[in-house]
Amino acid sequence: MQALKNTFLIGWPDTKDQVPLTVRDYWNFREELTLNNGVLFKNQRIIIPHCLRSEMIARLHSSHLGTEACLRKARDRIFWPDMTTQIKEAVAKCEVWAEYQTANPQQPMQTHKIPERPWTRVGADPFSLHSKDYIVLVDYYSDFVEVDLLKNTNSVFGVRHTVGVSACNILPVPSKVQCKRRVSRKSREELVQESPAR
């Protein structure tokens, strides 16, 4: 780190091969470096010296986050030339993360059939904000989004009722309401409810 500071203070040479070996990795970023109170930055990111890199990785991964999440956190704040590779390697070695991945495999994205008319099939998802319950509805035909205050959150039938009242101010009662039931986060399950035939 001292060599890098020196090079920064003296000024970069004209060609890369004139740069000391320990600093050569920074050649491509030399225009982005600044020194502030003895700390080197690459734009807004602090350049982390060798001796602190393992500790930084350990902190980024302290809650066993995956590679992408760790990288997102890191890329906002810190930098060293081989950071991405080292973070990826550290996460790949983590047994806790590996176990979690096996227990919770990611489901592939699934596309749905586009209905023939608007509001014949809607997606519904309840949520709370400032002690009030709401439901967000998405029409599968148009992707139109509607948010409504929900008075009864205890049952899927309440949800269905709300859907019937709100979305259908415009058009007929949906024939299908697809929603995530808010029992608890663990037992969330996807339900497809048929509403009464009209």
Nearer to Zn ion among residue 83 and residue 150 (C-beta): 83
Nearer to Zn ion among residue 57 and residue 83 (C-beta): 57
Binding residues for Zn ion restricted to 33-72, rule: CB under 5 A: 64
Nearer to Zn ion among residue 35 and residue 98 (C-beta): 98
Site string for Zn ion, 106-135 (x = CB under 5 A): ------------------------------
Residue 10 corresponds to which tokens in the numbers above?
């003296």
170 counts as binding Zn ion under rule CB under 5 A:
no
Nearer to Zn ion among residue 61 and residue 160 (C-beta): 61
Tell me the number of residues near Zn ion by CB under 5 A: 4
Which residue number places its CB atom closest to Zn ion? Answer: 94
Residue 105 CB, shortest distance to Zn ion, in Å, is: 18
Question: For every residue of the chain, which 3-state class applies, written as one string?
Answer: CHHHHHHHHHCCCCCHHHCCHHHHHHHHHHHHEEEECCEEEECCEEECCHHHHHHHHHHHCCCCCCHHHHHHHHHHHEECCCHHHHHHHHHHHCHHHHHHHHHCCCCCCCCCCCCCCCCCEEEEEEEEECCEEEEEEEECCCCCEEEEECCCCCCHHHHHHHHHHHHHHCCCCCCEEEEECCCCCCCCCEEEEECCCC
Nearer to Zn ion among residue 2 and residue 102 (C-beta): 102
Site string for Zn ion, 78-107 (x = CB under 5 A): ----------------x-xx----------
Return residues touching Zn ion (CB under 5 A).
64, 94, 96-97
